[in-house]
Amino acid sequence: MFDVLVYLYETYYRPDACPDSTALTKKLSAIGFEEKEISQALGWLTDLAETTNEISSATAHETTSSLGFRIYVSRELEVLGTSAIGFLQFLESASVINSVQREIVIERALAATESQISLDKLKVIVLMVLWSQGKEPDSLIFDELFLDDEDAEPRLLH
């Protein structure tokens, strides 16, 4: 599923640039993605749009910047893990995402059918949430989101 999402992000600059679901399914199949993967990814994206609408409607009266403290329930801690939660806090403190987007990312991470989301997959989820809203992170954050943890060089603090 995540490979399909990355392909869509890299190929289509905005979600509305994607062809309709039938044509997109055919194109993804022709490229070599499995039908199950395609179905999961397109379903996940449909649910992303619904989740975005629901959360945005529910929080319309609230400000997108939060001075509150986010408490994670045990299920969220299990699925996300400490490195993903730390990364979300970093993105929010750097104003890459706001509190509403954070909640959408958390919901979509929980919706992925995995017992624990790797940091790389969480980065894809963040990219897809921003992409679905027509937002693009600046180049430094973009590099961080696309940097594979296995390829990352140790960072020195000076």
CA separation for the pair 58, 119 (Å, rounded): 28
How high is the pLDDT of residue 145? 65
Give the 3-state secondary structure of 43-65.
HHHHHHHHHHHHHHHHCCCCCCC
How high is the pLDDT of residue 150? 53
Output the tens digit of pLDDT for each of the chain's 158 residues: 999 998 998 888 788 888 888 999 999 999 999 999 999 999 999 999 999 888 877 766 665 555 678 899 999 999 999 999 999 999 998 889 999 999 999 999 999 978 899 999 999 999 999 989 888 777 666 666 665 555 544 434 33
Among residues 111, 144, 106, 136, the alpha carbon closest in space to that of 2 is found at 111
How high is the pLDDT of residue 74? 95
How high is the pLDDT of residue 104? 95
Residue 84 near residue 122, CB atoms below 8 Å: yes
52 CB contacts (<8 Å, ≥6 apart)? 104, 129, 132, 133
